[in-house]
Amino acid sequence: MTVALWCILIAIFLPYICAGIARACGGFRLKDNYDPRDFLESLNGLGRRAYAAHLNSLEVIPAFAAAVIVAHLAGNAELVTINVLAVLFITSRLLYIICYLADWAILRSLVWLVGLGLIVSFFVVSV
């Protein structure tokens, strides 16, 4: 397996790290597991931002996975280029989560745009 394909797996697990942070910040208890979405939506502050990062991280997985797979299938891009783009994307997602948790809204949006640009880059290098 390539580094880029491993990065898809990493991207799949990032949302659950955010959810864990949200639960920890909200004082999650076993009884909250009966309706965890209601519990997470009731959070404020850091917990709420972690939950929002969780949701956004879930939303981006399909686009990233598709971009990596398309780049592999097209066969026109160097493998090292695909791998570097994937690692940069994961790095951008980690920075995005940090910015979300720290409540740095403008920087978070800029990092999100970088991540989107990296997804587009997979298609560009595959032409």
- For residue range 5-49, list pLDDT tens digits in order: 999 999 999 999 999 999 888 877 656 677 777 788 888 999 999
Give the C-alpha separation, 123 to 66, whole Å. Answer: 10
Intra-chain end-to-end CA distance of the chain, in Å: 22
Structure token digits, residue 110: 């800029």
Structure token digits, residue 72: 């592999």
DSSP 50: H
The predicted structure's pLDDT at residue 31: 60
Q: What total number of domains does the chain contain?
A: 1
Q: What is the mean pLDDT of the chain?
A: 93
Give the C-alpha separation, 83 to 67, whole Å. Answer: 12
pTM, to two decimals = 0.93
Give the C-alpha separation, 75 to 125, whole Å. Answer: 10
- pLDDT-derived band of residue 97, with 50, 70 and 90 as boundaries? very high
Q: Is the pLDDT of residue 89 over 70?
A: yes
- Domain enclosing residue 47, as ranges: 3-125
Q: What is the CATH number of the domain that holds 49?
A: 1.20.120.550
